[in-house]
Structure formats: structure tokens, C-alpha cells
Amino acid sequence: MSAAKEKFATQVTSEILAAVRALAQSEGRQLQALVDEALADLIEKRKHTRPREHVMKAYHASHDRYAELYRLLAK
């Protein structure tokens, strides 16, 4: 069962609207589906105030392996 939808209005630049319409058409999706996806993605990104655990593990592994190189590059 789908959640109830609510209408709202906003404004974007002509360039952004044209790009989103073209993307929707190329993917065979409705514009509202892309807007819904974009808003959900924005909310998810803003929920995380700290880096995700797997990102930090990759960072630490990289730092452990290339610490000397990073030190030299920082000079």
C-alpha cells in the first residue's frame, strides 16, 4: 500500500527543471517520482552527522597504508 501523497509547489531554475524532465523521460519515470527520490535522498544524507562506519574504516585503512605519502604531500 502506498503512502498518501500531498501536493506542494516550489520553484526551480529552468535549467534544473529541463534536466530533471529529461532524466525522467530517459528513465521512463514520472517527474514526481524523481522529486520524491531526491527529497528522500536529501533527508537521508542530512540524518548522518558523522561519516558512516564503512567510510571511516576505508579512511583509516588508507591512512595506515599511505601515512608517509600523505605526510609528504602535505608539505
pTM over 0.75: no
Structural domain boundaries of the chain?
Answer: 14-74
Report residue 61 as a C-alpha cell: 585503512
Q: Is 57 within 8 Å of 51 (Cβ atoms)?
A: no
**What tens-digit pLDDT sequence spans the chain (75 residues)?**
578 989 999 999 999 999 999 999 999 999 999 999 999 999 988 887 777 889 889 999 999 999 999 999 998
Give the 3-state secondary structure percentages of the chain, helix then strand then coil, rounded to 5.
70, 0, 30
Q: Which residues does 12 contact at the CB level (< 8 Å), separation at least 6?
A: 20
